Amino acid sequence: MPTPPDATFTAGILLLFLLVTTNAATEFEAEALLAWKVSLGDPEALSSWDKVTRLCSWTGVACNDAGRVESLQLRELGIAGTLDELNATALPALTTFDLNGNNFVGSIPASISRLRSLTVLDLGSNAFNGSIPPQLGGLSSFVDLRLYNNHLAGDIPHRLTRLPRIVHFDLGANFLTNPKDYLRFSPMPTVTFMSLYLNYLTGSFPEFVLESSNVTYLDLSQNNVSGPIPYSLPEKLPNLKYLNLSVNAFSGQIPASLSKLSKLRDLRIATNNLTGGIPDFLGSMFQLRVLELGSNLLGGAIPSVLGQLQMLQRLDLRSAGLVSTIPPQLGNLGNLSFMDLSMNQLTGVLPPTFAGMHKMREFGAASNKLVGQIPSALFTSWPELISFQAFGNSFTGKIPAELGKATKLGILYLFSNDLTGSIPIELGELVNLNT
């Protein structure tokens, strides 16, 4: 049956109306972005932003099927300015707003909360100051919030913890403080990445963090959080793969419950006030790639069972009050590229078995009480070596001529030992060596 003429006419009118409406909306968005550009001093990176070029072809602009702006990705374009002149209400379809790595200053305006469709906001690595607008907690579509590496200050708004879909939550490297209590904070069960490092957080381990059960990456380092590491942490956060609590004021022993973190690959708890020695259970956490325990008050011996961590790439035990010999079993760590045993009270020799650590790049055993000769086999077995620091011991014998085989070596510190003989001429072949 043929379409009635009236229906065809009506459909045409509707289509024309939609086209006119869409064009008007697109023009409104373009005018809003051009007005913002003027406040930025007309940067060269945004030279395509003009009245001649089609909006959806502008640098960093992506549009949806209706021609509305849905993404502004202006990462690392050298743009300077503020967000003060950005008309957020003109961009109702915007889902991604990325200004990472520019030179923006000023405060984050509360008007950003008018971007009701926003799922990703990345303002990281700029110079924003002031406080975080609590209104951001009303953006229920948020999946990814990155405000790290700015100059933001004040309390972390409790409303942010109620974002129902948030997955990536990064407020690190600012000047943020916690409230006197966390009673108004909520668990964040959808978050998998949480970073609050390098802020001014104090008090005990934040309860809302401990109750955010799906976190796999947690960084609370470089704050002033104190008290014990919660024994319940593995039960509360069973999916952790990365845990960084370094440079805080945690005290007490390393809890044995950490052995239950079967997915943990990266454990960084250096530079705290931890005591009680290095527990043997760490030698059974075979999945570990990074283990940093340095700059604590641990004391005791280096457990030989650490030699079982075949996947380990980085081991930091510096300045931990350790009093023992160096277990030769550590030579089994064939994937290790970084080891620092400096500033302890280690005695005995440097084990020849260390030649088995073929991927070693940076080695430190300075300021101990080590004796004997420096094993020459190390330098023929460590082709990637760039730093070897063994000063402040009681090593004897000659400087190994085999050092010349470590062709990538840039740092070599052997002073304050009892070495004898002349400097090997082979050292002259080390073109990268700092002198």
Q: Considering Cα of 429, then 432, then 433, then 435, what sign does the dihedral take?
A: positive
Query: What pLDDT is recorded for position 59?
Result: 96
Give the CATH number, domain containing residue 364. 3.80.10.10
Query: What pLDDT is recorded for position 13?
Result: 42
Assigned domain for 369 exists:
yes
| Selection from 233, 235, 159, 242 nearest residue 195 by Cα | 242
Number of domains in the chain: 1
Examine the pLDDT at 254 and tell me if it is beyond 70: yes
Look at the block and give the residue holding tokens 């063994």: 390
Structural domain including 301 reads: 276-435
Query: What pLDDT is recorded for position 243?
Result: 99
Give the mean model confidence (pLDDT) for residues 377-403.
Answer: 98
Find the radius of gyration of the CA atoms of the chain: 29
What value does the mean pLDDT of the chain take?
A: 94
Query: What pLDDT is recorded for position 389?
Result: 98
Tokens encoding 128: 């924003």
The pTM for the full model equals 0.92
Assigned domain for 40 exists:
no
Assigned domain for 132 exists:
no
Assigned domain for 421 exists:
yes
Assigned domain for 390 exists:
yes
Give the mean model confidence (pLDDT) for residues 286-299.
Answer: 99
Confidence grade of residue 404 (pLDDT, cut at 50, 70, 90): very high
Query: What pLDDT is recorded for position 12?
Result: 43
Examine the pLDDT at 103 and tell me if it is beyond 50: yes
- Give dist(CA 316, CA 298) in Å, integer: 13
Query: What pLDDT is recorded for position 14?
Result: 36
The residue among 145 and 20 whose pLDDT is bigger is: 145
Long-range contacts of 102-106 (CB under 8 A, 24+ apart): 102/74, 102/75, 102/76, 102/77, 102/78, 102/126, 103/78, 103/79, 103/127, 104/79, 104/80, 104/128, 105/80, 105/81, 105/129, 106/82, 106/130
Assigned domain for 97 exists:
no
Query: What pLDDT is recorded for position 18?
Result: 37
Assigned domain for 60 exists:
no
Assigned domain for 425 exists:
yes
